[in-house]
């Protein structure tokens, strides 16, 4: 192994060790901050009704009073370069809502990073692959790697947003049938739908903060919006899950046609429990295939060493000259 390759291997090994140490420290101390995170996130949705009212009043005001205000560097850059038109992303607002990012700021930050990340990674690729070239690659391969990291920078915000959305839905999906059962109990006990949603948001906060946020936000919209149908549609639109969308549709039909809400919630709760069971069975069925490669790479070599080493030692002892 050449000295350059050995140095590169040592650098990569050091980086792996550092990342492993940071991950271990985060795993040990992250539970200490969950309580503060819970209070912060629940506090952010506690005044959602007032925020909706303020947004509505802002839209009614004259826009001339806002033209001279400082809108921020990122917003001025996005508006000045018309990045929403040049770097348009399909259904961006809906995807941001599904990831739990609300308001205008995440939209501007998404377009800003979609512009900045390719430029930064292009500069990094030129400095690292073309000028330094520690891997001693040919020039064509260096420029190809630079273009690859530049393209990765363009799609990095979308990948990051998709990962946040999937992680959020992974937290909501397992506990959603339990929330429906609790919502059914509240409705059948005589509570109004607003009080039932508020009660469920309080009780489900320990199981899933994301689901508690959704129920709290729906409670605020039910109290403020003129049409409950719009609140139910927003509830289904913010969560890209077939079970939640079906529940939103059932609530809309119950509100429109006067069908018994308890029967609809009972049916939806059973369907979501079946979906949760099917998801668990699907993961269990895929487990053997996922374990094949780790067993081949990590388990079988050790097994061969344990089984064959005594035989090899015995053969060498018998073949040794007396």
Q: Per-residue pLDDT for the chain (322 aa), expressed as one digit of tens each?
A: 566 666 666 666 666 767 767 767 766 666 555 555 555 655 555 555 556 556 555 554 444 333 334 457 777 777 777 666 666 676 788 888 888 888 788 888 888 888 888 899 999 989 888 888 887 888 888 899 899 999 998 888 889 998 998 888 888 888 888 888 898 898 888 888 888 888 888 888 888 888 888 888 888 888 888 888 888 888 888 888 888 888 888 888 888 887 788 888 888 888 888 888 888 888 888 888 888 888 888 888 888 888 888 888 888 888 876 5
The pLDDT assigned to 264 comes to 80
Sequence ranges of the domains in the chain: 174-278
Interatomic CA distance for residues 198 and 183, integer angstroms: 10
The pLDDT assigned to 64 comes to 37
- Does the model's pTM come out above 0.75? no
CA atoms within 13 A on the CB side of 250: 18
The pLDDT assigned to 61 comes to 47
Give which of 92, 103, 93 is closest to 45, Cα–Cα. Answer: 103
Interatomic CA distance for residues 166 and 170, integer angstroms: 6
The pLDDT assigned to 148 comes to 92
Interacting residues of 156 by C-beta distance below 8 A, sequence separation 6+: 113, 117
Q: In the chain, what are the helix, strand and coil shares in percent, each to the nearest 5?
A: 85, 0, 15
Contact (CB, 8 A) for 239 and 98: yes
The pLDDT assigned to 40 comes to 60
Helix (H) or strand (E) holding 85: helix 83-86
């Amino acid at each position: 192994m050449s000295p350059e390759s050995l140095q590169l291997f040592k650098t990569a090994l050091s980086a792996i060790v550092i990342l492993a140490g940071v991950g271990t420290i985060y795993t040990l101390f992250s539970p200490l901050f969950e309580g503060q995170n819970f209070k912060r996130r629940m506090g952010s949705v506690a005044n959602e009704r007032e925020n909706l009212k303020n947004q509505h009043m802002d839209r009614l005001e004259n826009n001339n009073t806002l033209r001279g205000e400082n809108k921020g560097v990122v917003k001025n850059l996005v508006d000045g370069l018309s990045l929403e038109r040049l770097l348009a992303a399909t259904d961006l607002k809906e995807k941001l809502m599904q990831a739990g990012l609300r308001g205008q700021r995440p939209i501007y930050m998404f377009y800003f990073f979609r512009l900045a990340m390719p430029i930064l990674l292009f500069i990094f690729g030129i400095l690292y692959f073309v000028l330094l070239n520690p891997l001693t690659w040919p020039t064509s391969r260096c420029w190809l790697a630079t273009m690859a990291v530049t393209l990765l920078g363009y799609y990095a915000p979308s990948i990051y947003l998709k990962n946040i959305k999937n992680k959020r839905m992974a937290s909501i999906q397992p506990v959603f049938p339990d929330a429906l059962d609790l919502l059914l109990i509240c409705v059948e006990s005589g509570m109004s739908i607003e009080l039932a949603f508020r009660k469920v948001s309080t009780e489900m906060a320990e199981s899933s903060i994301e689901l508690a946020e959704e129920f709290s936000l729906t409670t605020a919209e039910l109290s403020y919006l003129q049409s409950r149908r719009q609140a139910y549609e927003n509830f289904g639109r913010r969560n890209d899950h077939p079970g939640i969308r079906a529940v939103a549709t059932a609530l809309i039909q119950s509100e429109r046609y006067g069908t018994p809400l308890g029967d609809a919630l009972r049916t939806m709760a059973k369907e979501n429990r079946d979906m949760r069971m099917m998801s668990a069975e699907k993961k269990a069925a895929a487990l053997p295939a996922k374990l094949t490669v780790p067993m081949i790479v990590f388990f079988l070599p050790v097994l061969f060493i344990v089984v064959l080493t005594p035989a090899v030692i015995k053969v060498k002892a018998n073949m040794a000259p007396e």
